[in-house]
Structure 1
Amino acid sequence: MALLRSIVHALWMLVTVIPWGIIMVVASIRIRGNPLYWMAARWLGWAVDGARLILGIRVRVNGMENLPQGETSAAILLVKHQSTFETFLMPTLMPHP
């Protein structure tokens, strides 16, 4: 069963990353900054949701309530790396880059 889920997830990533990558490259010709970041973050959300639904990956986040609130509040986040999954997850959790 784990092999089947891995294959389905690999296909999900293949089907989503190629078109989205092409869209991002074309969009980067005219779009810069935060709008481009949020376009990329949208795909990361799809990737995280796919991992959750297909692979059953669960995420536990501790300490979000301790972060400063507001658009101008700065914070440095340190992530205990378990895998490359955090690279996909962090933009989906944070309200702004």
Structure 2
Amino acid sequence: MIKNNHEIEVKNRHGSADELPDGFNSWEDYWNKYMADHNPDKPKLADCKCQICKIADAEVGGHVKKTGSSMKSYIVPLCRPCNSANSDEPFKVPASLMAPVNS
């Protein structure tokens, strides 16, 4: 069970829109399943706020990577506009909202 709420600095990972997780129909489904297995107290992705703007409701599971580290990807709740933005600006996400992608 994930209990860690410290924040991790991440950036959007560009060029991952066409990737789909094995055994899932969407990254949202993947995130929901990961959270159900590892952090049952967390809500569904659709009940979260976007982790970039912190205002809009999350609509998708967006790929991010930790700043200053490898290319390992994580899925976090994002709204469509923030997920589609071509920004390299870092933002912080609670570790408990990051679902690692096995690649």
Fold equivalence (TM over 0.5)? no
* TM-score, normalised by the number of residues in structure 1: 0.28
Identify the structure with the greater helix proportion.
Answer: 1
* TM-score, normalised by the number of residues in structure 2: 0.27
Identify the structure with the greater strand proportion.
Answer: 2
